[in-house]
Amino acid sequence: MLIEECGLYFCRSGEVFSATFIGLSVKHNTVEQIIVARETKRPTKVTKMTSTTQFVPLRSIIPMVFLPILLVLSACTPLNRSQSRDAGRDLQALETALRTQQKTTTDALTDPALLGLHSDPRFRELIRQYAVTAKTVLVTPNEPGEPLIISGVVRDADNEPLEGAELSIYQTDTRGYYTPARAMDEPHARLFAYLRTGAGGAFEFRTIRPGGYPQPMNIDGEERKIPAHIHVDISAPGVSGAPATASTRTRRFQLVFAEDPLMNTSYWQEWAKRYGFPVVALEKGPDGILRGVCDLNLTGYVG
């Protein structure tokens, strides 16, 4: 006679049967997929085993079945769920503060309490959506590295100053990491900001001098170290080189530094010239802050 214990069917007689449990069948000490029982007290599949088949005790089956379930549930621990709820509340409060102009995007980016949200796409979209000024700051007051201010003017294809262009700025930290966990995770760079050019196409952002990538990269068949740089993606109507159907187009720049020894090599000098990337000269003022000035012209290469 078949009886059921915890969803496992077996036989009281001397014969041993395989048993269905949450859509799994135990045979030969392995777990294989079979048809899931459909609301019935009887087993979906009960197969008489051969004498060569070893019986798997109930206490051995349960861990095999429940381990995958426990692994999935572990990703949703009370702590993680609590952190998710906290992040949701923080984002909601931030959106309200930005919308009512109680805070600016610079306030959000320089708040150490919000650093944990910088990789969250919702946080990044809020910063983009409410970036309305021509000046911003990428770093909190305690960010390691040499303070740096970059300013300049965005010019259109006719070399005229362009007001209202959106700048997406992102970079590595002083170690050359975009994020603490993943050095090359550009899309989630911890140090980032958005701004919009003001009258006369002017912009300014404060950050730290970025570090070069920790590892060389294979470029043109050679292992090359990459010069330290700051990404600036400019979105505006009429950017040269983008699809003709695009109402808003993007021109991607990498700002490199004249003092970087790597920029003394012909390879990187030709690279910057070919793509129209600014080579910025930096000067340190009496206040200890590095400053660089450059114009960004929306013509030529679109990466």
Helix residue spans in the chain (DSSP H): 58-74, 78-99, 105-109, 121-129, 266-275
Q: Which two tokens mark 137?
A: 């700051």
Instruction: Please say whether the beta carbons of 282 and 257 come within 8 A.
Output: yes
Indicate whether 268 pLDDT > 70: yes
Mean pLDDT score across all residues of the chain: 78
Among residues of the chain, what percentage have pLDDT more than 90?
Answer: 54
Helix, strand, coil share of the chain (percent; to 5)? 25, 30, 45
Q: What is the mean pLDDT of residues 1-22?
A: 38
Instruction: Say how far apart CA 207 and CA 230 lie, in whole Å.
Output: 10
pLDDT of residue 127 exceeding 90, the answer is yes
Give the model's pLDDT for residue 299.
75
- Average of pLDDT values for 116-124? 93
pLDDT band with cut points at 50, 70 and 90 for residue 219: confident
* Distance separating alpha carbons of residues 17 and 15, to the nearest angstrom: 7
Flag whether pLDDT at 167 surpasses 90: yes
241 Rama class: left (phi>0) / alpha (psi -120 to 50) / beta: left
Mean pLDDT of 268-278: 93
Q: Are 240 and 173 within 8 A, CB to CB?
A: no
Tell me if residue 201 falls in helix, strand or coil. helix
Coil vs helix vs strand at 122: helix
Alpha carbons 294 and 291: distance in angstroms, whole number:
10
Residue 221: per-residue pLDDT: 86
Please state which of the ranges 31-40, 209-218, 280-289 shows the lowest mean pLDDT: 31-40
Please state the domain extents for the chain: 2-74, 131-297
Asked whether residue 4 carries a pLDDT value surpassing 50, the answer given is no
81, two tokens: 């769920």
Is the pLDDT score of 77 beyond 70?
A: no
Per-residue pLDDT at 298: 86
What's the pLDDT at 80?
54
H helical segments located in 2-117: 58-74, 78-99, 105-109
For the segment(s) 131-297, the CATH number from 1.10.3720.10, 2.60.130.10, 3.90.180.10, 2.160.20.10 is 2.60.130.10
Please determine, for residue 70, whether its predicted confidence score (pLDDT) is greater than 70: no
pLDDT score of 182 more than 90? no
Name the band, by pLDDT with cuts 50, 70 and 90, for residue 71. Answer: low
The whole-number pLDDT of residue 123 equals 96
Mean pLDDT of all residues in 239-246: 46
